[in-house]
Amino acid sequence: MDELMADLKEQIEVQLKLKNIKREDIGNDQPLFGEGLGLDSLDVLELIVLLKQQYKLRVSNPEDGLKVFRSVRTMAEFITANRVQNT
């Protein structure tokens, strides 16, 4: 789980071009949106693409995305849960 979260932080930093925020600044439970990292709805779309490209997981609507992408931990949980289902 920790390894997965570290990977995710790196991928988020790169995919979303976070210039002023480094991967080590992102907390596991820090909200990604709003007051947290300040991400917005366009970032949700980028994160959906990230999940599809890196983990072959599909989030089909942005509303579900908001739950999945609440924090790095919720993303990791979603990936772990759905990976298990697939095997």
Partner 1 sequence: MGVISGIGNNVAECLNALVEGKTGIDKIKYLKTNHRDLLPAAEVKLSNDGLSVISGLAPHTSRTAMLSMIAAQEAWDNSGVKNIPSLRTGFVSASTAGGIDKTEEFFTHFLIDNKKGKLRNIINHECGSITTMVADKLGIRNHISTISTACSSSANAIMYGARLIKHNLLDAVVAGGTDALTRFTLNGFNTLLVLDEQYCRPFDENRSGLNLGEGAGYVVLVSERVALLLEKSPYCAISGYFNANDAYHQTSTSVDGDGPYMAMAGALAMSGLQPMDINYINLHGTGTQNNDSSEGAAIQRLFHPNYPKMSSTKSFTGHTLGASAGVEAVFSALAIHHGIVYPNLRLQNPMAAFPFTPEIAFSKQPGLKHVLSNSVGFGGNCSSLIFSKL
Partner 2 sequence: MMKAYIRSAITISPQKTFNSPAFLNDLVEYNSNRLTSIEPDYSEAIDPRLIRRMSRIIKMSVASALACLKDAGIASPDAIVTGTAYGCLEDTGIFLTNMVQEDEEPVTPVAFVQSTHNTIGAQVALLIKCSRYNNTFVSGGASFENALLDAMMLLSENNAANVLVGGMDEITDMSHIVLSRLCLYKRQLVSNLNLFNINSKGTINGEGAAFFLLKNIPSANDLACIDAVATLYKPNDVAEIQQYIHSFLVSQSISYSDIDLLIFGNNGDSKNDEIYTQLQQSVFNGTPSINYKHLCGEYPTSTAFATWLGANIIKNNNIPIALDYQETSKNKINKVLIYNHYQNIYHSLILLSSC
Binding residues for partner 2 (CB under 8 A): 16-20, 38, 42, 45-46, 48-49, 52-53
Number of DSSP helices (H) and strands (E) in the chain, helices first: 4, 0
Nearer to partner 1, 42 or 84 (CB): 42
Phi, psi of 47 (to 5 degrees): -70, -35
Residue from 1, 62, 81, 83 touching partner 1 (CB under 8 A): that is 62
Alpha carbons 74 and 87: distance in angstroms, whole number: 20
CA end-to-end distance (rounded Å), the chain: 17
Nearer to partner 2, 2 or 58 (CB): 58
Residue from 3, 17, 42, 87 touching partner 1 (CB under 8 A): that is 42
Nearer to partner 1, 26 or 69 (CB): 69
State the nearest-atom distance from the C-beta of 65 to partner 2, in Å.
12
Strands (E), 1-87: none
